[in-house]
Structure formats: C-alpha cells, structure tokens
Amino acid sequence: MTLKQLIKLEDKASEVWVISPSLHYDVENKDFSELVSVNLGQKTKYKYIVPASKEIHKHLDTYKKMYKLSEEDINRNFLLLPKSDFNGFIMEIGIYNGSSESCIACAAPALEDTSDVIQFNSASAKTMANEFKSIWKKYKRTNP
C-alpha cells in the first residue's frame, strides 16, 4: 500500500485509531494534516495512543491549535502512556474502523515521509484493534 492509498483509506474511514511515537503525520505532514482537518470537520472520530514525552506535549499544543480543539477534546481523544507501556509501538499505526468486523490496520515509519505503507492482514488488524481497545479501557476505563 502506498501513502496515497493510505490517505484515501483514511479519507473514507468514520473512525481512525492512531498509535504514534511523535504525531509526525498529524502535525508535520501537510497531506495528512489537511486530511485530519477535513475529517474532523466531517465528524470522523480520532483516538490516539502516544507516549508521555516532551515532544508529544509540544505536538499536542500544535495539534490543539491546528485543529481548533479544546483541552477537553485532547483529554478525551488522546491517551498518553508512560514510555515503558509505549515501547511496543515502533512504527506509526493506523487502525481504520477498528470497532467493525472489517477493520484495516496499516503501519508506516513514524519519523519519515515515505510512500511505503504496510497493510496488515485481517486477523492481525482485528488483534491490533482489540489490543488498542484493551489499553484504552485500562487507562480511560471506557471504550474508544
């Protein structure tokens, strides 16, 4: 899958779950930041798991300003994990329509712009969606 195909997939998704070590795509990649802006305006639901790092706090401030969100929006849609809990996520991962049976999971390098995107098979996508839900519920105590 290419980055352009991933953008088309995200554009059609009603919900997007992102595991990101840096929020690179959402705040530094023009194509994705424009897409997120449009999707948020069209009520696409975004949920993020990110590490609790200085870089993330800086990018969260940028994200909040870019997309005109409140602190409440950030608290509701972002889960900041201690680095020890975040170490399992090496690449940026997007889970599209994670609560449906036909969810799709993709990964791309977290700190570089490349056209290389990995699409996981259906079983892996469902497993990743379940892991996302489990971690989200553990810390947020609600479904994403």
What does the pLDDT look like over 15-29, one tens digit per residue?
Answer: 999 999 889 889 998
- 68-99 pLDDT, tens digit each: 999 999 999 999 998 777 766 678 899 999 99
Residue 88, pLDDT score: 61
Q: Give me the number of domains the chain comprises.
A: 1
Using one digit for the tens of pLDDT, what is the confidence trace for 115-129?
Answer: 788 999 999 999 999
**Residue 104 domain boundaries:** 3-140
Closest CA to 144 of 18, 9, 7, 60: 18
Helix then strand then coil, in percent of the chain rounded to 5, is 50, 20, 30
Q: What is the mean pLDDT of residues 87-112?
A: 85
Q: How confident is the model over 105-109, as a mean pLDDT? A: 90
Q: How far apart are CA 61 and CA 134, in angstroms?
A: 27
- CATH for 101: 3.30.870.10
